[in-house]
Every structure is written in C-alpha cells, then in structure tokens.
Amino acid sequence: MKSFFQFLGRAYKYFRGTKRVWRKPPRADLLIIDRGTASPLDEMFAHHNPHIMDIRGESVNMLALLRAVPKIHLGAVAYLEAYIDFVNPKLILSRTDNNPTLWQLKRRPNSTYKVALIQNGWRFEYADSVPHASINKKYQVDSFLTFGNATTRILSSRLEGKFIDTGSIKANVFQKIERFKNDAPVVFVSTFRASKHKNYLQGTVFFEHLENICEKYKKKILIVGCERSDSGSQTEKNFYSGLFSSNNWNMVSRVSETSSYEFISSASCVIVESSSLGYESLAMGLRTGFVAIRDRNRVTDRFGKPLEFGEKGPFWTNDPSEEEIGRILDYLLTVSDEQWERDSGWIRDQLMVHDYGNTKIRAYVEGVLTGSLKSN
C-alpha cells in the first residue's frame, strides 16, 4: 500500500499542470515516442499516420496511468507499456536514444512490436549515452540507428540489438559538400550556455587568436549561436561582443530545426570545440577543424571520443595556442579538395556516415511496417 501511494505521489508531482486525457490512445502501426524529438520523423512517415506519445509532461493519458498501477514497481516503464498496449504498434520509433526507460521496452518476452532508437546527439562514453542506466544491466532493442561505428563500439557491450550506421537524420537532409568555397566566411559553432558562461571564459584567448588569423586571411567570422531563447541569444551575443575588438564578425541564432545546417553549408570552413553539429559538418564533407578551447583534459573536448586519434592531426588539436589555431586554419583554407578527402575521409566514416535523403532509415521503417523486413 505504501508503494501505491508513493507511485501516486510521484505521478501527481510529474503530471501536475499537464493536460489530462481520458480517452484511449488511438491504434497506429507506427508509434513515435517523445514529441520533443518527433521531428522530422513525423513528416518523413506522415503517410503511415503515426501516433506521437508525450513523455515530457505535455499530457498524460489517465487510462494508461490507471492500467499501470498494478506494475508500479516498474516505474515509468509500466506507464509506457500500458500506453503501448492501447496503440498496439508494429514499430516504436524514438530519437530520444539516451532515455534508459526506452531501452527496457523489449523486456516482455511476448511483445510483438519492434523497438528502434535513432541517435540524436554525440555520445562520448556509455555513461554519457544513457546517464541513468545501470552499468551492470544488459538492455535490448531491435535496432539502434547510429551516427557511425564509434557509437556502436560504446553501446554494444550494454545493449543487445542490431546496430545500423545511418548518420545524422538532420544532416542527411543536406547533400554532401564536394567543393571548397573560397569566398565564404569562417563559421564558428558556439557551445555557449548563459547558465555556464563562467566556464566558457576559460577559453576567451582562443577568440583573440581566431580574430587575428581571420584578419590575416581577410575572412569574415560567422558565429552559429547555441542559445535558442531571445534572452539567451542576446546574452550570448553580448558575450562575444566583449571578446572581439573589430567588427569582422556576426552571430546568427538557430531559428529552426535546419537553420544551423544551412549556416554551416555556406562556410569556407567550420571551427568547433566539441558538438554534434561539428561531427555533422564533417560528415557533410565540410572542412571542419576541432580545437579543445578550454581544457585539453576534458573528455568531451577531445576530438573523436570515444575513439582515439591522438593529440593533434591535420584538422584537430587539443592545444588551443595561437600557433595551433593558425596551423588548423592554414590547413583548412589552403588544402586541396583531394587532399582534404584523403586526410579526413577515413576518420569521418568511422565517426559519422552520411546518407543523403535518409535512405537507410526510410528503408528500415518501411520494411518493418510493410512486413518486407523479416529480421531486425
């Protein structure tokens, strides 16, 4: 009885202020879990009339919640399973790949649906990939659609299923860049967070070096902002205004799901500290330089993690000195297209593949829903 009231208490706290739905979830062959990451899956597979399940408190289905009560010891899994039973899907699809609850949806031996997760961000190590999952437990999905082999290496020891290298579902919308754009700006991908900008200050000397070198090459600097809210974006712009002494720069905000990719596609080269967008830029064929701006010992700043490529390479360095920043930019702005492909191609394909048009993801989903894909 005590656990019952604890369950109700947690449910009330989580769903307080959310919309309460008292009708059964509709049946659908395709169930997309998490409205927050449903795009672009909902558009890609609209012809299958997918149903989208809220898991961030946007709404709660009261019938599924009540059905979950007898299995309260399972926590959130009980609610998801009850909801899934109403929908009765052939395929459960989600881009919230680092939610450990979704890793448990195949625990029932008689489940008839398939579960496929699509990687949504760069993963440095197992704990980063699924921060609340048990390191002693083996999980299972039918398929995990990954950026590339690097992700497979860190997840396959804890997760059973078929790993398919599909690349970034967002970057795959854009064609691969084959030619260098000499008259375009140098794009810097910002990872600034207004709530954590004190830590970011450790790397301000980097921007002095970047400004000096871009002046040498007569290149404009375009910063792709990280903050999305109006207030956060203004704080971010103010931060960079205090770093640059000239007007040789501009900042653009991420105003849509694809705007960041449009901005980097217009670059002569892209400079990043560490972000998923940086690896997506590399996968798209863009000349991309990786510089550990703050702390060379921070695992999340080291190029290629979880793989090891050394302290320095043609287009990466863990040393944010002016000499190293100059070396990286010299290389990116002068290397031939053919040499760039030779230097970056073998590394790029290990980290993130590029599948223009998302043909692999489309083929997988269509295969499951039409029955032509017999195995996972």
Contacts of 161 (CB under 8 A, 6+ apart): 140, 141, 142, 143, 144, 376
What is the C-alpha to C-alpha distance for residues 32 and 83, in angstroms, rounded to an integer? Answer: 12
Task: Report pLDDT for 303.
Answer: 87
Give the pLDDT confidence score for residue 297 in this predicted structure: 52
pLDDT confidence of residue 133? 58
Please name the residue that has the structure tokens 């990451």: 37
CA 343 to chain centre: 25
Rg (CA), the chain: 23
∠ CA 8-33-105 to the nearest 5 degrees?
Answer: 70
Question: CA angle, 226 as apex, 121 and 231 as ends, to 5°?
Answer: 135
Residues 6+ apart with CB under 8 A from 194: 227, 231, 232, 235, 236
Cβ burial of 345 (10 Å; 0-12, 13-18, 19+) is exposed
Identity of residue 85: D
Contact between 311 and 317 under an 8 Å Cβ cutoff? The reply is: yes
Rounded to an integer, what distance in angstroms lies between the CA atom of residue 249 and that of residue 242? 12
User: CA-CA distances (angstroms) from residue 49 to 39, 89, 118, 173, 369?
Assistant: 14, 11, 19, 21, 12
Query: Cα–Cα distance between 350 and 363 in angstroms, integer?
Result: 22
Distance spanning both ends of the chain, measured CA to CA: 41
Going by C-alpha positions, the residue among 172, 360, 320, 162 that lies closest to residue 258 is 172
46 phi/psi in degrees, rounded to 5: -60, -30
Q: Which of 215, 167, 220, 221 is nearest to 190 (CA)?
A: 221
Q: Are 221 and 185 in contact (CB under 8 A)?
A: yes
Exposure of 341 in the CB half-sphere (CA atoms within 13 A): 8
Residue type, 89: P
Residue-level pLDDT at 2: 58
Domain locations along the chain: 8-169+358-370, 186-351
User: Which residues on neighbouring strands pair with residue 251, listed in sequence order?
Assistant: 223
Q: CA–CA separation, 244 vs 144, rounded Å?
A: 43
Q: Which helix (H) or strand (E) holds 119?
A: none
- The answer to whether 330 touches 214, Cβ cutoff 8 Å, is no
Q: pTM above the 0.85 mark?
A: yes
30 and 48 Cβ atoms separated by less than 8 Å: yes
Domain 186-351 in CATH 3.40.50.920? The answer is no
Beta bridge partners of 272: 189, 290
pLDDT value, residue 338: 94
Q: Can you say how many angstroms the Cα of residue 333 is from the centroid of all Cα atoms in its chain?
A: 28
Is it true that 8-169+358-370 and 186-351 share their CATH fold?
A: yes
pLDDT tens for the 376 residues of the chain, in order: 556 666 566 666 666 778 999 999 999 999 999 999 999 999 999 999 999 999 998 999 999 999 999 988 888 999 999 999 999 999 999 999 988 899 999 999 889 999 999 999 888 765 555 555 565 677 899 999 999 998 888 888 788 999 999 999 999 999 998 888 888 999 999 988 877 666 565 567 788 888 988 999 999 999 999 888 888 889 889 988 888 888 899 999 888 888 999 999 989 999 998 789 999 999 999 999 999 876 555 555 678 888 889 889 999 998 878 888 889 999 999 999 999 999 999 999 899 999 999 999 999 999 999 998 765 4
Helix (H) or strand (E) holding 374: none
C-alpha closest to that of 94 among 56, 63, 136: 56
For position 41, what pLDDT does the model report?
97
pLDDT at 77: 93
CATH among 3.40.50, 1.10.1200, 1.10.10, 3.60.90 for 8-169+358-370:
3.40.50
